[in-house]
Structure 1
Amino acid sequence: MTVTLNPSSMPWTRANEAVSRRFITCDDPDRRDLLCGGGALAMSLLLAGLLGGSRPARAQALAGPVPELDEVTVRIVTDSYQFAVAPKTRKAESLLIEHFGWGVSPDRPPGPTMVSEFGLSMHATSRRGEETRRTLVDFGFTPQALNNNLALLEMQPSDLDALVLSHGHYDHFGGLAGFLAANKGKLKSKLPLYVGGEDCFCAREWTAPPVKGDFGVIDRKGLEEARLTVTSTERPSLIAGHGFTSGQIGQRSFEKILSPSAMRIGVRDGVGCDPRSFAKADPQQGPVPDQFQHEIATAFNVKGRGLVILTSCSHRGVVNAIRQAQAVSGVSKVHAVIGGFHLAPYQPEYLRETLAALKEMGPDHIVPLHCSGEAFYEMAKAEMPTKLVRAYTGTRLTFSAAAA
């Protein structure tokens, strides 16, 4: 028998660290007895050590109605686009829209301003009575953008009650390690980081145009050193007692998965994904196309208004993400959909089908970001002008409960 956790030469991303090229196989005489003679227990102990000594904690599952909130404010911390000279404030029915502007002041020369990049990070502040909870969803492409923008927006990492990673793509987790390093000792003890499954931690390669290459891997030991509680939410789960995750998103609609990346199953130098979590997985095979089984959306239920859904990237379909949130919460009314809709790669007919499905579901507000694509935005602007909201890096969206 040959057991290989990571058997081929491939690029890996570990900041400021030389990565060993030694693989763990039964052909290695130093490990042959451990892996090939020691059986499942030895393998389990080895993998536990490589993965930081623990598997993710189980999230608090949804039980009963989802919480009704008095207010939810979503701040776009990092997005692919910004427009510094947009009107600062406007109202769209029950929604208050505030744009950040830029680093210009009447009493000093121009200073630091917001950084945009191809990535996404959103900060949600939810209020129920006297309770306030703060959740950071995704971390953008670089810590430079994330940390800069959080500081300019005067958001204190020490106030965070939860972190959520929607899926294992670098443009959503790239800023995480640098964020944790910059805030060492400042975050709440055992701050939960919610992920949708073990495949979130697989190493990835970008396989789509315009350039193929290494697409990074999460440093699990770094999460442990930051004293985060990595929390698995394959099933719908509460987030900080106010919001909830969709759980893994089912395929309920016409939507098709395009796979711009491939993942490697296995562990090397303490990073990667546990092959025991994949049915019939062969760690000796090459990269396998992403199916994004672990992708999750994050949602909040605003009293008298309905769901505010943060889709993040929608690799498994924005319509599927919405339907999943409706199904697991028992709330059919959708107040707002915010995030990447992952429509940029698709043809016009597919966009029209998506738009028709959104019209049928009837959200009050649609806020496309990041990977949604300009073609979809222009189509939605023509057909749903009163529902479409333009937001970008620094925009704050405040959703308030309906008057009693």
Structure 2
Amino acid sequence: MCGDGSPTDVGQAMPRAAPGAAVDPIALEPVDAVEVTTLVDNVFDALLTGDERTRRPGWFTARTAAPQFEDGETPVGLVAEHGFAALVTVHRAGTTTSLLLDTGLSPDAVVTNADRLGVDLTAVQGIVLSHGHFDHAGGLAGLARRLGRRRMPIVVHPRAWTRRRLAVPHQEPHLLPTLSQRALEGEGFALVERREPSLLVDGCVLVTGEVDRTTDFERGMPPAHQAWTGGAWEHDPLVLDDQALVVHVRGRGLVVVTGCGHAGAVNIVRHAQRLTGVPELHGLIGGLHLGGPAFEPVIPPTVAALTGLGPALVVSGHCTGWRAQHALAAALPDAWTPGSSGSTFRLAA
């Protein structure tokens, strides 16, 4: 069902040199445009304004009964929670296809927000889990109710089923909810387990699979993050199941969508560049996991590396952290854009 945390598993993703082109390059077909809607993020700001590439939902996407008002109802915003879910829609040769990357924390947030935005989740053609943490997979319960017995495919790394906990010194360890393969299959999902890169949507969406760890500063999770190896709890710094989505916008470059970015934002981008042979980074959207004291030393080299890549759009959400947000906004003032539940970002050829 998953790896056992053996030295072989860990060794496969330790930082190492990876010069030159990929041994097995990916022919990622360019698209005319990609739209990324953050269905669930840590914040919802109804006062954010849009521009030529960003659409904001505002207050008036939906209304609910509220008898204390004279007309008996009030506008409602969107759910924000410590989780992430993104609807990725690609446009190519007159066709439009949508995938869901992650499903948020709570069972109903992604369904609630989709309904308020007018997004038909039954039209989604597949789900990709960035990794097995519960704040990215919690919405699968509500999604299963919405889909019924439809055999919706889910692309998932084999280690997404790993038992994990947070064991902070001098505190009782907190077990993290463990994703159940049997439960998902019982709800009708069709599981596709892969460590290797996958091409979806007629070859124009790349799931990175296990990410090469090549930088010397992205060291992963602190010692409190542990995994069960079958005989003991051990430090799980690498989160080997971490993966991202990649789209190549024709004539512009790569758009990378992360869940948490546990593999490291720079590692993920470099991995995508190596796999595809496309050197340009056009957009980076999602969680970059740079929040908290353990990750703050990683902020300066990460920001420097991303600045050197010159992306047109950076939407750093979820677990990025406020210090990293400020650093990215200062270093990339024309590219950085605040994330918010319900926002749609469009990048076109």
Same fold (TM over 0.5): yes
Amino acid in structure 2 at the alignment position of 1:144:
D
Measure the CA separation in 1 of the matches of 2:97 and 2:282.
20
Provide the identity percentage.
Answer: 26
Measure the CA separation in 2 of the matches of 1:354 and 1:63.
25
> Is 1:193–2:157 an aligned residue pair?
no
Q: Is the 8 A contact 2:105 2:135 kept in 1?
A: yes
> Is 1:126–2:119 an aligned residue pair?
no
Task: Give runs of aligned pairs for residues 39-188 of structure 1, distance below 5 A.
Answer: 65-87=27-49, 89-91=50-52, 96-103=53-60, 109-185=73-149, 187=150
Measure the CA separation in 2 of the matches of 1:239 and 1:208.
39
Q: Is the 8 A contact 1:70 1:127 kept in 2?
A: yes
Name the CA shift for 1:158/1:293 in 2 (closer, same or farther; >3 Å).
same
Q: Is the 8 A contact 2:31 2:91 kept in 1?
A: yes
Match in the other structure for 1:234: 195
Task: Give runs of aligned pairs for residues 4-403 of structure 1, distance below 5 A.
Answer: 65-87=27-49, 89-91=50-52, 96-103=53-60, 109-185=73-149, 187=150, 190-196=151-157, 198-208=158-168, 212-241=173-202, 242-254=204-216, 255-259=218-222, 260-265=224-229, 283-345=230-292, 346=294, 348-401=296-349
Amino acid in structure 1 at the alignment position of 2:55:
E
Measure the CA separation in 2 of the matches of 1:86 and 1:373.
19
Amino acid in structure 2 at the alignment position of 1:335:
H
Amino acid in structure 1 at the alignment position of 2:167:
T
Offset of 1:347 from its aligned partner?
5.6
Name the CA shift for 1:208/1:316 in 2 (closer, same or farther; >3 Å).
farther
Offset of 1:67 from its aligned partner?
1.1
Measure the CA separation in 2 of the matches of 1:300 and 1:64.
12
Measure the CA separation in 2 of the matches of 1:311 and 1:374.
18
Query: What count of residue pairs does the alignment treat as equivalent?
Result: 315
Name the CA shift for 1:306/1:184 in 2 (closer, same or farther; >3 Å).
same
Match in the other structure for 1:280: none
Offset of 1:235 from its aligned partner?
1.1
CA offsets per residue over residues 134-161 of structure 1, 9 Å max, x none?
Answer: 1000011102211111111211122111
TM-score normalised to structure 2 length: 0.84
Offset of 1:211 from its aligned partner?
8.1
- SS of the residue aligned with 2:135? helix
Larger Rg: 1
- SS of the residue aligned with 2:241? coil
Amino acid in structure 2 at the alignment position of 1:97:
T
TM-score normalised to structure 1 length: 0.73
RMSD (Å) for aligned C-alpha atoms: 2.3
